[in-house]
């Protein structure tokens, strides 16, 4: 039995010797690599926090001491050390372990939200609660990456944490996991400040000395590692004197930098922080993303931040079976930018995931990575638009939630021409509740003047994106799904206002059901249509292309049918179906509307198909719902026809 198999709770760690802990950290890395290679997930970030997380659980007493992970994608090691080793091979699978902390899994998990920069605010609030309840011995530990500290919310929290003068001081320990990266290298002034702290301390000098000793001691190995970390007393405890940087100026005690992969040094620093009784304290830990796995270290782009299924030995990904939505967009924006010199792109620490690497390579001066700062990205885009450029703000759909006020008040109110490209819109799959991009259409339909497109295939994505960037006096949005683009679906005809008719009601059948397909669900809409026709129900299928505002031709066709069924992978409360229902009602139409969308709940994790089925968007389920809501006269006609033919 391995040491890892014996860990049922963090308390078991305290019984291990230092040597046994070194073996344990090796077992953890091996488990991370073999498991994530089979399930996909956030490999690089977790390889980088093995010793850091182990040290935290050795020094503090979870759950009495509260441990919070900002973003949470680096919590796999935490899961392994809190008794979930036996279930770890179910990571990110339907009904298995979440890829983020989950309260349903463990009392040691607190923040399930995978949106960055919020944990310091949580920590501030929990520490205040402990104090007000007289629980002065309970510590709150917040692990936050340097990338997340580019978010404005983190600095709002730091401002309040630094201003706290309560007595006795609250026990709040902030562990800055500094690997110089979010997805890609961390950008901005704060990253430069951390660089200066590293350079100005004894840390660099000691590491330089250690590297020299390593070279003198022969081939790298355990003996050389021990020589580097044990032959000079100062190198074993890499907690430097307090820095004279912004943290001191804020009034927050600072310890570091500390080698985040030296378990002994990390434990010493954390113990000092735990015993510090004069207010909040920052422990600055230097780590390496992808630590211990050569393919991740060699990947300079994102160091295996998030991977699909890979070969655990080589890190090679499974061959792609198709073209991704992201790559289609990435190629199209470059083509447009070659003739539109006013086109610029903005992203929030996700240049590669949203497909901007080609754009950045060809037009480096026209792309702005603002860090994890969506609010700034959108307000800055308004300024870029006012200055005569056309900004394209590229985000995951779920992260637009963070910048709604700026979209509404800075872009829409001022009628600025800004295009928003929302990747991973709708049901995304294995990353779970807070990564599903299901709120954007309901949220955006209340923005005056906004126009939103939902392409069904690659051709329409390119077409609708080109149309979007032609709009200069209002916000435009193009949303598309996660994963591979499906088969091209040609239209039978296009209406004067740009609606594609994908299937017409046969002349032999009455116009019973108008099926409105939103985005990448067009193939399912056509399958529903075929199933209904097989039962004698006349159907028409349309793709509005631009779903907001609802095109007039969709409403006109809706009035000609007995029922409108709207298929969308956004929340149905306030979604496109809801808007069509309202528009028809305002036009005195009595046509019924059935919203076939996502239920108003936080969806679980699993594959995209599994979650669509869970949400009731499998073809048989949608057919059944339509049959149950059809007007009585249509049901009677179908039953009479069935009896005669039977």
How confident is residue 169, by pLDDT bands cut at 50, 70 and 90? confident
- pLDDT of 66 above 70: yes
Percent of the chain with pLDDT over 70: 89
Q: What angle do CA 267, 273, 279 make, to 5 degrees?
A: 170
- Please answer whether residues 154 and 120 qualify as being in contact, where contact means their C-beta atoms are separated by less than 8 angstroms: yes
Say if residue 85 carries a ligand binding annotation: no
Q: Which of 82-96, 226-240, 288-302 has the lowest mean pLDDT?
A: 226-240
- Please answer whether residues 343 and 469 qualify as being in contact, where contact means their C-beta atoms are separated by less than 8 angstroms: yes
- Residue 427 CA to residue 55 CA, distance in Å, equals 37
Could you give the residue ranges of the DSSP H alpha helices within 201-310?
Answer: 202-216, 222-230, 233-236, 246-250, 263-275, 294-298
Percent helix, percent strand, percent coil in the chain, to nearest 5: 45, 15, 40
- pLDDT of 111 above 70: yes
How confident is residue 113, by pLDDT bands cut at 50, 70 and 90? confident
- Mean pLDDT computed over 622-639: 92
Give the residue carrying structure tokens 């190629």: 331
- Mean pLDDT computed over 271-299: 91
Say if residue 284 carries a ligand binding annotation: no
Q: Residue 330: how many CB atoms within 10 A of its CB? A: 19
Say if residue 531 carries a ligand binding annotation: no
How confident is residue 237, by pLDDT bands cut at 50, 70 and 90? very low
Q: Which of 69-83, 287-301, 489-503, 606-620 has the lowest mean pLDDT?
A: 287-301
Enumerate residues 6+ apart whose C-beta is below 8 A from 642.
535, 536
Enumerate residues 6+ apart whose C-beta is below 8 A from 442.
570, 571, 573, 574, 575, 578
Average pLDDT over the chain reads: 89
Give the residue carrying structure tokens 């917040």: 142
- pLDDT of 590 above 50: yes
- Residue 358 CA to residue 278 CA, distance in Å, equals 50
Say if residue 374 carries a ligand binding annotation: yes
Enumerate residues 6+ apart whose C-beta is below 8 A from 187.
150, 349, 369, 370, 371
Say if residue 179 carries a ligand binding annotation: yes
- Mean pLDDT computed over 260-277: 94
| 3-201+240-298 matches 325-479 in fold | yes
User: Can you give the pLDDT at residue 639?
Assistant: 85
CATH of 3-201+240-298 given 3.65.10.10, 3.40.50.970, 3.10.105.10, 3.30.60.50 = 3.40.50.970
| pTM (predicted TM-score) | 0.86
Percent of the chain with pLDDT over 90: 73
Residue-wise pLDDT tens digits, 459-488: 999 999 999 999 999 999 999 999 899 899
User: Can you give the pLDDT at residue 212?
Assistant: 53
Say if residue 148 carries a ligand binding annotation: yes
- pLDDT of 641 above 90: no
Residue-wise pLDDT tens digits, 328-377: 999 999 999 999 999 999 999 899 999 999 999 999 999 999 988 999 99
Say if residue 553 carries a ligand binding annotation: no
Assigned fold of 501-645? Rossmann fold (3.40.50)
Active site residues: 289, 374, 402
Say if residue 349 carries a ligand binding annotation: no
How confident is residue 646, by pLDDT bands cut at 50, 70 and 90? low
Domain boundaries, the chain: 3-201+240-298, 325-479, 501-645
Residue-wise pLDDT tens digits, 601-620: 999 999 999 999 999 999 99
244 alpha carbon, distance to own chain's centre? 35
- Please answer whether residues 423 and 397 qualify as being in contact, where contact means their C-beta atoms are separated by less than 8 angstroms: yes
Enumerate residues 6+ apart whose C-beta is below 8 A from 557.
514, 540, 542
Q: Which of 144, 64, 140 is nearest to 108 (CA)?
A: 64
Considering all CA atoms of the chain, what is the largest pairwise distance in Å, rounded to the nearest integer? Answer: 95
- Please answer whether residues 206 and 325 qualify as being in contact, where contact means their C-beta atoms are separated by less than 8 angstroms: no
Burial of 15 (C-beta count, 10 Å sphere; 0-12/13-18/19+): exposed
184 alpha carbon, distance to own chain's centre? 15
Say if residue 76 carries a ligand binding annotation: no
Indicate the angle between helix axes 18-39 and 50-59, nearest 10 degrees: 130
Assigned fold of 325-479? Rossmann fold (3.40.50)
- Residue 524 CA to residue 530 CA, distance in Å, equals 10
Residue-wise pLDDT tens digits, 174-191: 999 998 755 455 555 555
Say if residue 73 carries a ligand binding annotation: yes
User: Can you give the pLDDT at residue 299?
Assistant: 81
Residue-wise pLDDT tens digits, 432-463: 888 899 999 999 999 999 999 999 999 999 99
Q: What angle do CA 374, 376, 381 make, to 5 degrees?
A: 95
- pLDDT of 410 above 90: yes
């Amino acid at each position: 039995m391995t040491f890892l198999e014996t860990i049922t709770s963090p308390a078991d760690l305290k019984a291990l010797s230092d040597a046994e802990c070194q073996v344990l950290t090796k077992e953890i890395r091996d488990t991370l690599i073999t498991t994530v290679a089979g399930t996909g997930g956030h490999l690089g970030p977790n390889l980088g926090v093995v010793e850091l997380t182990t040290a935290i659980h050795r020094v503090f007493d979870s759950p009495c001491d509260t441990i919070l992970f900002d973003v949470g994608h680096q919590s796999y090691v935490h899961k392994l050390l809190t008794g979930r080793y036996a279930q770890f091979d179910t990571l990110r699978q339907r009904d298995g372990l979440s890829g983020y902390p989950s309260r349903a899994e463990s009392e040691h998990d607190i923040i399930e939200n995978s949106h960055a920069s919020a944990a310091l605010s949580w920590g501030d609030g929990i520490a205040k609660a402990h104090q007000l309840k007289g629980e002065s011995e309970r510590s709150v530990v917040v692990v936050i990456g340097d990338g997340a500290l580019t978010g404005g919310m983190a600095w709002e929290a730091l401002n309040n944490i630094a201003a706290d003068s309560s007595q006795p001081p609250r026990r709040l320990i902030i562990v800055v996991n500094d690997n110089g990266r979010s997805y890609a290298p961390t950008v901005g002034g704060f990253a430069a400040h951390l660089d200066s702290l590293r350079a100005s301390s004894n840390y660099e000098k000691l590491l330089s000395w250690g590297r020299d000793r390593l070279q003198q001691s022969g081939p790298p190995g355990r003996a050389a590692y021990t020589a580097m970390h044990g032959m000079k007393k100062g190198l074993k405890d890499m907690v430097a004197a307090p820095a004279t940087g912004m943290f001191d100026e804020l009034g927050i005690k600072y310890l570091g930098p500390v080698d985040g992969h030296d378990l002994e040094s990390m434990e010493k620093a954390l113990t000092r922080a735990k015993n510090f009784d004069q207010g909040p304290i920052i422990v600055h830990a230097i780590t390496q993303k992808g630590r211990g796995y050569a393919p991740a270290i060699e990947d300079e782009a994102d160091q295996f931040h998030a991977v699909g299924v890979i070969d655990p030995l080589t890190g090679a990904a499974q061959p792609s079976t198709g073209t991704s939505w992201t790559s289609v967009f990435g190629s199209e924006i470059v083509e447009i930018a070659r003739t539109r010199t006013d086109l610029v792109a903005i992203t929030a620490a996700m240049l590669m995931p949203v497909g901007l690497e080609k754009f950045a390579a060809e037009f480096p001066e026209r792309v702005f990575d603002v860090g994890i700062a969506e609010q700034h990205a959108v307000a800055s885009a308004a300024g870029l638009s006012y200055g005569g450029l056309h900004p394209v703000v590229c985000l995951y759909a779920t992260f637009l939630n963070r910048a709604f006020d700026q979209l509404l008040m800075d872009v829409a109110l001022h009628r600025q021409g800004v295009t928003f490209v929302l990747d991973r819109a709708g049901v995304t799959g294995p990353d779970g509740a807070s990564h599903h991009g299901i709120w954007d259409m309901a949220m955006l339909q209340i923005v005056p003047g906004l126009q939103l497109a939902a392409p069904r295939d690659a051709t329409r994505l390119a077409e609708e994106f080109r149309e979007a960037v032609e709009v200069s006096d209002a916000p435009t949005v193009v949303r598309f799904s996660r994963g591979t683009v499906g088969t091209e679906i040609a239209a039978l005809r296009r209406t004067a206002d740009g609606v594609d008719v994908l299937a017409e009601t046969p002349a032999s059948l009455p116009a019973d059901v108008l099926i409105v397909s939103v985005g990448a669900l067009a193939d399912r809409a056509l399958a529903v249509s075929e199933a209904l026709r097989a039962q004698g129900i006349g159907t028409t299928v349309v793709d509005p292309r631009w779903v907001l505002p609802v095109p007039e031709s969709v409403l006109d066709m809706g009035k000609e049918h007995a029922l409108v069924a709207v298929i969308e992978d956004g929340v149905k409360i306030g979604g496109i179906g809801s808007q069509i229902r309202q528009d028809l009602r305002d036009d005195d139409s009595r046509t019924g509307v059935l919203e076939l969308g996502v239920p108003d709940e936080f969806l679980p994790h699993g594959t995209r198909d599994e979650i669509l089925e869970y949400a009731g968007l499998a073809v048989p389920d949608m057919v059944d719902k339509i049959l149950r809501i059809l007007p009585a006269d249509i049901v009677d006609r179908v039953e009479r026809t069935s009896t005669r033919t039977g």
